[in-house]
Structure 1
Amino acid sequence: MSDDPLKLARTMAIAMDKTFHESNAANSWRAVANAIEAAYAKIAELEKHNASLRAKIDADAQWDTIETAPKDGTHILVCFGPYDRWTTFAQQPPTVAHWFGDGWYLSRCPFDHDAIQPLMWRPLPPPLQNAGA
């Protein structure tokens, strides 16, 4: 399956150009109508594929309350308010933190010794493939 909209547009333009240069106008318009129907079918197929990808993203992006987070030093992604793909934080974006001794601490700054109070958490995403290559 080709998801390249430019390739689809080129294919449609070629088909339409061919049909307009044929001598029989009825056949030309029939071919144009067929090309348009094929384009609509492809659009419907791509919209269905897009919806399935969005559903996967939504399923993968679930946040849990901080009370359920691991307290073994594991680095996790935390946030300080409700978060989903449609909203952003008024306070600050999600950040990496870990439990250490008596509270949650930012993992990015070894000199920040103040505990933080996140509300939600989720596991870190897997590392990128070929990162740094």
Structure 2
Amino acid sequence: MEWQSIETAPKDGTIIVVVVEGKRMNQDIPYCPSLAYWEGEGWVDPDDDEPGSWFPTHWIGLPNS
């Protein structure tokens, strides 16, 4: 499994790992990995974000258990 452009990510509610470019939550890190899923018109962080409030650039599926 390899990182892919966010345009190829599933938009069916599947939770995936995404990477968001830029600082997040006042942390000084250039890229921030997070879990996300597509809802309606944008990506959602399962913990707290509204759809479309942030913009991941790449994604990878969760490992099989």
Superposition deviation, residue 116 in structure 1 = 1.7
Question: 1:77-96 maps to which residues of 2 (within 5 A)?
Answer: 77-81=17-21, 90-92=30-32, 94-96=33-35
Structure exhibiting the larger radius of gyration computed from Cα positions: 1
1:80 is paired with a residue of what secondary structure? strand
Instruction: For structure 2, list consecutive stretches of 5 or more residues without a partner in the other structure.
Output: 22-28
Question: 1:64-83 maps to which residues of 2 (within 5 A)?
Answer: 64-81=4-21
The 2-side partners of 1:69 and 1:118 are apart by 10
1:95 is paired with a residue of what secondary structure? strand
The 1-side partners of 2:6 and 2:50 are apart by 19
Instruction: For structure 1, list consecutive stretches of 5 or more residues without a partner in the other structure.
Output: 1-59, 82-88, 128-133
Give identity over the alignment, percent: 40
Q: Work out which structure has the larger RCO, using CA pairs closer than 8 Å and 6 or more positions apart in sequence.
A: 2
Residue of structure 2 in register with 1:119 after alignment? 57
Relative to total residues, which structure has the larger helix share, 1 or 2?
1
Structure 1 runs of 4+ off > 3 angstroms?
none
**Aligned pair 1:104/2:43, yes or no?**
yes
The two structures have a TM-score, normalised by structure 2, of 0.74
Relative to total residues, which structure has the larger strand share, 1 or 2?
2
Number of positions where the alignment pairs a residue of Structure 1 with one of Structure 2: 57
